[in-house]
Structure 1
Amino acid sequence: MEDKNWTVRIHITEDGDDTRAEAVLTTQNASPDSSTVTGRGVAHRNPIDRPIPEIGDELAASRALEDLAIRLHDIASDDIVELTGPVDQGRGRAWELP
């Protein structure tokens, strides 16, 4: 059995009513071009809402993680297509369960 450690770091920046987050996944993969994947997210506070920075942090971070998940899924999907060939439009995506 092989253990792997992947690390996700989230960097959050606040600027007035805007909060931005970057979620960076670092893997232990052998190829240098696939060792990091970055997702980004943004939150904007409505001026009529009370200023509670934690909510903006949570929204921006969750959106960055969602973007990261989509990017990681796309990478895996591309890897599957590369191994199995083009997807037959009649049977759906190669990575979907029946």
Structure 2
Amino acid sequence: METKRWTVQIYLSEHGDDTFAKAVLTTGDGHLAGAGHARRNPVDPSVPEIGDELATARALADLADKLLVITSRDIAQVAPPVERNSLW
């Protein structure tokens, strides 16, 4: 059995009240990236960790959505055609 290693790196940048995250999945076949953004309400206290967490969660969710789309396409390419029973 072969063990594969996929890694996810998270890149964070802050610009004022905005935090941006990029989640990059690296596999043996290449890279896939997701993006996330968080914006602090100016009336809220500044807690940078919260912006980091929220932006990262959104980037990971975006990455997961993209991976599911790719997986669905891959399945469609290898799955046998669906037979339809027509009553007409």
Tell me the TM-score normalized by structure 1.
0.80
Q: Is the 8 A contact 1:43 1:56 kept in 2?
A: yes
Instruction: Give the greater-gyration-radius structure (CA).
Output: 2
Q: CA deviation at 1:85?
A: 5.9
- Give distance in 2, aligned partners of 1:26 and 1:71: 14
- Alignment partner of 2:42: what SS? coil
Percent of counterpart pairs with the same letter?
Answer: 55
79 and 87 in structure 1: CA distance in 2 versus 1, 3 angstrom threshold: farther
Q: Give the aligned partner of residue 75 of structure 1.
A: 70
What is the CA-CA distance between 1:3 and the residue it aligns to?
Answer: 0.3
CA contact (8 A) 1:21 1:40 kept: yes
Between the aligned partners of 1:77 and 1:43, the Cα distance in structure 2 is 29
Could you list the runs of 5+ residues in structure 1 that have no partner in the other structure? 30-34, 89-98
For residues 86 and 67 of structure 1, what CA distance do their matches in structure 2 show?
30
Equivalent residues, number: 83
Matches within 5 A, 1:17-36: 17-29=17-29, 35-36=30-31
Taking a change above 3 Å as real, the CA distance of residues 4 and 23 of structure 1, as seen in their structure-2 partners, is same
Aligned-partner Cα distance in 2 for 1:12–1:63: 12
SS across alignment from 2:43: coil
Give the match for residue 38 of structure 1.
33
Is 1:55 matched with 2:60? no
Higher strand share: 2
